[in-house]
Structure 1
């Protein structure tokens, strides 16, 4: 029921604002405001798609976190959609979302409510249990298994190995494209 409440209240508020503003400035200026906000919303959304992609790319090139540019881009896209919707209240909220300090405030409030339960990469949790039932060591040792494979895999397919079908015999030295890691 709570989910349906905005869909009931928002149209009633928009109609009431149309009546109030239309009575104050006239019908044609209100229609012009609604059409103008729709045109502005389309322009914002068209511009923001390319701008958001460039901001994220620039952040990744500078080795910064791309989350902030992506979040700002998403809020600007939401602002554009609100401007396109016919209504004075939605257009006002859309215009407010176009102001960067307002977006920063919204993102800070949202970030304060987010709690990260656990994330990261590494050796695991030193001193804690491992998935195989053992314990993680604190000495930095990494356990692993390996096998030695003398024969090339069959069949040798182009591009999968550095060997060209000669079975490893008669190779005079490294050929162009050999990494050196796969020679025996």
Structure 2
């Protein structure tokens, strides 16, 4: 079994087996300390706080994204913030205190930069930058599409060339 498959299976095991077991354990412990009624009330208040926080921070992230786009700059930070708020909101949908705590940490504006850096590092690890050899092919079999050819797209001589002019309406 390859490494990626084991990682996916591990993540799924944690998400669908361990997290619910931890949530049930924490709910039972809190319920024993403060009572069932107070535990349910605390969960409802937690959900209301999470809903307000998602609405507030989601709106802020959306405005920041629009400003970045309108300003003509790449909205990398704003997109990462939106993704973290979406993930945090998803965690807040799951009943329980542990997922709610992680969800709130992902949404709060003063803890989000830490998770943004972690997200950027994870994305950077996943990106693979390859090089394309743009030198003309050499050797007797180095024609278009031959063994000497490297790089994407059609090679030279692979079809008719249509000459044209690009007109920008702006």
Q: TM-score, length-normalised on structure 2?
A: 0.64
User: Structure 1 residues 116, 30: closer, same or farther in 2, change over 3 A?
Assistant: same
- In the TM superposition, 1:1-184 aligns within 5 A as 2=10, 3-98=12-107, 99-117=111-129, 127-128=135-136, 131-133=154-156, 145=163
Structure holding more helix per residue: 2
Q: CA deviation at 1:10?
A: 1.7
User: Structure 1 residues 126, 5: closer, same or farther in 2, change over 3 A?
Assistant: closer
Q: TM-score, length-normalised on structure 1?
A: 0.59
Q: CA deviation at 1:35?
A: 0.7
Q: What is the root-mean-square deviation in Å for CA atoms of aligned residues? A: 3.1
- CA–CA distance in structure 1, aligned partners of residues 53 and 130 of structure 2: 37
> What 5-or-longer segments of structure 1 have no aligned partner?
135-142, 148-178, 180-184
Q: CA deviation at 1:48?
A: 4.0
- CA–CA distance in structure 1, aligned partners of residues 92 and 134 of structure 2: 53
> What 5-or-longer segments of structure 2 have no aligned partner?
1-8, 138-143, 145-153
Higher relative contact order (CA 8 A, sep 6+): 2
Residue pair 2:54, 2:89 contacting (<8 A) in 1 also: yes
- CA–CA distance in structure 1, aligned partners of residues 71 and 106 of structure 2: 27
Moved over 4 A (4+): none
Q: CA deviation at 1:69?
A: 0.4
SS at 2:95 equivalent: coil
Structure whose CA Rg is larger: 1
Alignment coverage as a number of residue pairs: 136
User: Structure 1 residues 21, 125: closer, same or farther in 2, change over 3 A?
Assistant: same
Q: CA deviation at 1:75?
A: 0.6
